[in-house]
Amino acid sequence: MLNLRSSAFTWKNGQVYLAKCAEALPIRWSRQLPPGCVPSTITVKLDPSGRWSVCLRFNDNRDFQLKPLKKRVGVDVGISSLIATSDGTKVNNPKYFNKLYKKLRLSQKSLSRKTKGSNNYQKARLKVARIHAKIKDSRLDYTHKLTTQLIRENQTIVVEDLAVKNMVKNHKLARAISDANWGELVRQLEYKAEWYGRELIKIDRYFPSSKRCSECGYVVDKLPLDIREWDCPECAAHHDRDLNASINILAAGLAVSVCGATVRPEGSKSRRAGAMKQKAPSSDVKESRAVTQVQRREDVKQRTPRGRVVTSAAWRHLGFAPPDEQLSLKL
């Protein structure tokens, strides 16, 4: 990886000239730079799959705010369906990794049989890296499309504040969770909400969104993961597990806005300062191709809205004792 400050490259007629190079970099642009923008930093990278990429960092002062809408939605992220929204939509998990997993395993096996450092080893290594890159690109592309659609169609989006890192520790679910790209999904929703003038509310992860009946508020004791549909013992309402959860998440999010949420100073740790990357199309990757990635400059730490948590008042609004009280009751 090569980081270049403005002294180490020249920006001329929309072309990048590296210092001491007579010719401009043969860049295939992923998108056009907005007029008048001059990159401040350029990063040239070679990834393990042999792709070159150039990231340009620049200040973009354009206003992307969308027209305000009335629609609000609760989003439950899951494995069997990637997301379920409170308006009754379920989006399937594409499971790219599963599709390519067989291929990856074969190529990894073949790699392990090669003598380290040999030409064949290098070839096999590249093959493995390319499959990894393919999975990563497809995932990211899918997540981008999904989050953009959610942001476009809704004014307020409520999600659970998930601890993805802790969940991945559950080995049975680790691959499925990594594959679903939850952390990235929420990260994209965060900054896109900021760009497009939408509101993202993150509710407490301990809120019993799955176990609560969205009709009458009854909370069941247990709801194992394999139960996809259930009937409320109190009001006999029939629930789809994920859709019911998303309705509860929306309700909790709205309670947060009604009761005035506290703003939790969290999340800054996990947030990378890298801002957004736009990937070039993932198909037909050639070895020496220069992929352009355009980075938008923004001070993420300052501008990203902080997650909100369900306050005690909001918990009571929904008919629960707040978590700290629940805890003291147990003691």
The catalytic site residues sit at 76, 160, 242
**Least distance from Zn ion to the Cβ atom of residue 212, Å:** 9
Maximum pairwise Cα distance, the chain:
76
In the 8-state DSSP scheme, what is residue 40?
S
Nearer to Zn ion, 211 or 306 (CB): 211
Residues 239-258 that bind Zn ion (CB under 5 A): none
Which range of residues in 85-93, 222-230, 237-245, 254-262 is near Zn ion by CB under 5 A?
Answer: 237-245
Nearer to Zn ion, 107 or 244 (CB): 244
Which range of residues in 15-23, 150-158, 205-213, 318-326 is near Zn ion by CB under 5 A?
Answer: 205-213
Spatial distance between the Cα atoms of 108 and 122, rounded to a whole number of angstroms: 12
Q: Is the dihedral of CA 199, 205, 208, 211 positive or negative?
A: positive
**Least distance from Zn ion to the Cβ atom of residue 233, Å:** 8
**Least distance from Zn ion to the Cβ atom of residue 211, Å:** 11
Residues 270-299 that bind Zn ion (CB under 5 A): none
Q: In the stretch 207-236, what mask flags binding to Zn ion with x, by CB under 5 A?
A: ------x-xx-x-------------x-xx-
**Least distance from Zn ion to the Cβ atom of residue 214, Å:** 8
Type of residue numbered 283: S
Q: Give bridge partners of residue 84 from the DSSP assignment.
A: 76, 90
Q: In the stretch 24-63, what mask flags binding to Zn ion with x, by CB under 5 A?
A: ----------------------------------------
CA angle 32, 38, 41 (to 5 degrees): 100
In the 8-state DSSP scheme, what is residue 290?
E
Angle, in degrees to the nearest 10, between helices 171-180 and 96-113: 110
- 3-state DSSP call for residue 143? helix
Asked whether 306 and 161 are in contact (CB, 8 A), the reply is no
Spatial distance between the Cα atoms of 297 and 243, rounded to a whole number of angstroms: 37
Total residues contacting Zn ion (rule CB under 5 A)? 8
**Least distance from Zn ion to the Cβ atom of residue 177, Å:** 29
Token couple for 212: 């609560």
Type of residue numbered 113: R
Residues 105-124 that bind Zn ion (CB under 5 A): none
Residue ranges binding Zn ion (CB under 5 A): 213, 215-216, 218, 232, 234-235, 237
